[in-house]
Amino acid sequence: MENTGQKMLESALEIIKKTSHSLGLDSETIRRLLEPEAIHEVNFPIELDNGKLRLFKGFRIQHNSSLGPYKGGIRFHPNVTRDEVQALATLMSIKCAVAGLPYGGGKGGIIVEPKHLSESELERLAKSYIRAIATVIGPNQDIPAPDVNTNPKIMRWMVDEYIKNVKVQMSNVKSSQRELNKLKATFTGKPVDNGGTLGRTEATGRGGVIIFQALLAKLSSKFKYQSSKLSIAVQGFGNVGYYFAKIAEEQEFKIVAVSDSKGAVFVREGLSVDTTMKCKKEKGTVAGCYCKGSVCDIRFGKTVTNEELLELPVDVLVPSALENVINEDNMRDIKAKIIIEMANGPVTEEAYEYLTKKGVIIVPDVLANSGGVTVSYLEWYQNMHNEKWSEDQVNTRLKTMMMQAFEVIWKKAQSKRIPLKQAAFELAIERIVKKE
């Protein structure tokens, strides 16, 4: 899997180089954008349930801190590599700058198959990793969050371990409870009863719908639309895809297809997102949810493959599962007029270029899925200021911040006649460089 991480890193660095050259940056400034500020590689042991010790390798890569502390998730996966973590840290610097957050980019990972560990081994793994990187993280230094195979429960273990370690170091210094509480801001994506914020679970999907609606408002002069008439296909029905579909449906858009790793369901008339989720919970997949043999629950329900979902005759396609799913092989068969990149990197560079030339509007991932990190910032802010906001307060601030981010990128794209992705990267790099 070394290759996947290497390819991800090459493509992240390539786009930064290309954008930096088009902005006329000097070679030393470009080098600072390409090279991470720090790479921490740690090897740490845990005791397995059978009493034996096993050594694990983990990383924390801190890419750029000119806009503020590093921010980025921690993933647990057997295919984690240094290159992959570096690529993701680099893209976090871009995403935070695009979203207008006072953060730089970071990322962490442990090479592990979490399914092979018991719950208590997983807890010891999470805590041991945090002890290994405790001196390089902190609320004003580097702020991790969940990513692939990590979740609020793991954040609880991590933040508790971090605070325990810092308390030991601070035992001679008189510190207030409030100061100790601030240490919770070292992690985001925590459970709500342990310093987490309301609204985080839905934030990435919600942010995507906000951006989608802002885009439609801009296009409305060219392209008269009525939300209930626009058909949307969503690939992936996990956290991001489900909440995107659910919130879009609440805004009266018509979701005609959704999928998971086992297949997709297509209902030309529009499907019910919650009924489909209920069915998925019962059957384990959305495939076949609307039909049993020739008997369908809703008229025109049909099971299709994940590949077919991408090629459906819909207005809007929302890839929310995996990277590189729209590529050289299928780009000529894509019929959607708008693509919202909710997954990270679902459209390859070749496909991006081809579809953009064809007039398809693609909202880049660094903007479309930045709702998650934006609400992470709101969680951090509440912890730092000893505040606790209602879900409405969080959602209102998310909307304001996402609209601001969209507006600046849209204006840049229009005035320079460049695609939204190029505008987003130019804006991010300009912001980072200005602060250096």
Q: Which residues contact 293 (CB under 8 A, 6 or more apart)?
A: none
5 touches ligand NAD by CB under 6 A: no
240 touches ligand NAD by CB under 6 A: yes
User: Would you give the binding string for ligand NAD spanning residues 344-373, x where CB under 6 A is met?
Assistant: x------------------------x--x-
Phi-psi region of 323 (alpha: psi -120 to 50; beta: other; left: phi over 0): beta
Q: Using the 8-state DSSP alphabet, how is residue 254 labeled?
A: E
The residue whose two tokens read 């680099």 is 90
Closest contact distance (angstroms) between CB of 243 and ligand NAD is: 8
Interacting span for ligand NAD (CB under 6 A) from 27-35, 40-48, 315-323, 416-424: 315-323
User: Would you give the binding string for ligand NAD spanning residues 192-231, x where CB under 6 A is met?
Assistant: ------------x---------------------------
66, 72, 132, 141 from 37: Cα distances, Å? 10, 14, 18, 12
Interacting span for ligand NAD (CB under 6 A) from 110-118, 314-322, 330-338, 426-434: 314-322
Closest contact distance (angstroms) between CB of 199 and ligand NAD is: 12
Closest contact distance (angstroms) between CB of 52 and ligand NAD is: 31
The residue whose two tokens read 């019962």 is 282
105 touches ligand NAD by CB under 6 A: no
As a whole number of angstroms, the distance between CA 103 and CA 93 comes to: 7
> Which residue of the chain is nearest ligand NAD when measured via CB?
238
β-pair partners for 235? 259, 319
198, 199, 208, 243, 342 from 393: Cα distances, Å? 9, 9, 18, 19, 24
228 versus 275: smaller Cβ distance to ligand NAD: 275
261 touches ligand NAD by CB under 6 A: yes
Burial 235-271 (b: 16+ CB within 10 A, else e): bbbebbbbbbbbbbbeeebbbbbbbbeebbbbbbebb
59 versus 237: smaller Cβ distance to ligand NAD: 237
- Among residues 321, 338, 362, 378, the one that binds ligand NAD under rule CB under 6 A: 321
Interacting span for ligand NAD (CB under 6 A) from 114-122, 159-167, 256-264, 425-433: 256-264
The total number of residues shown for the chain amounts to 436
- Among residues 125, 343, 347, 378, the one that binds ligand NAD under rule CB under 6 A: 343
58 touches ligand NAD by CB under 6 A: no
Q: Which residues contact 386 (CB under 8 A, 6 or more apart)?
A: 178, 181, 182
User: Would you give the binding string for ligand NAD spanning residues 113-132, x where CB under 6 A is met?
Assistant: --------------------
As a whole number of angstroms, the distance between CA 419 and CA 404 comes to: 18
Closest contact distance (angstroms) between CB of 339 and ligand NAD is: 14
Interacting span for ligand NAD (CB under 6 A) from 238-246, 381-389, 406-414, 415-423: 238-246
235 touches ligand NAD by CB under 6 A: yes
**Taking the CB of residue 89, how many other CB atoms lie within 10 A of it?**
31
As a whole number of angstroms, the distance between CA 157 and CA 159 comes to: 6
Among this protein's residues, is 190 annotated catalytic? no
322 touches ligand NAD by CB under 6 A: yes
132 versus 409: smaller Cβ distance to ligand NAD: 409
Closest contact distance (angstroms) between CB of 326 and ligand NAD is: 12
Q: Are 394 and 227 contacting, i.e. CB atoms less than 8 angstroms apart?
A: no
The residue whose two tokens read 């973590």 is 85
Q: Are 115 and 125 contacting, i.e. CB atoms less than 8 angstroms apart?
A: no
Amino acid at 269: E
Closest contact distance (angstroms) between CB of 80 and ligand NAD is: 14
259 touches ligand NAD by CB under 6 A: yes
327 versus 344: smaller Cβ distance to ligand NAD: 344
Q: Are 41 and 81 contacting, i.e. CB atoms less than 8 angstroms apart?
A: no
165 versus 327: smaller Cβ distance to ligand NAD: 327
Of 71, 95, 107, 246, the catalytic one is 107
Burial 91-101 (b: 16+ CB within 10 A, else e): bbbbbbbbbbb
Q: Using the 8-state DSSP alphabet, how is residue 8 labeled?
A: H
- Among residues 306, 324, 356, 382, the one that binds ligand NAD under rule CB under 6 A: 306
Amino acid at 172: N
285 versus 383: smaller Cβ distance to ligand NAD: 285
31 versus 262: smaller Cβ distance to ligand NAD: 262
Q: Which residues bind ligand NAD (CB under 6 A)?
A: 204, 235-241, 259-261, 306, 320-322, 342-344, 369, 372
Q: What are the residue numbers of the active site?
A: 107
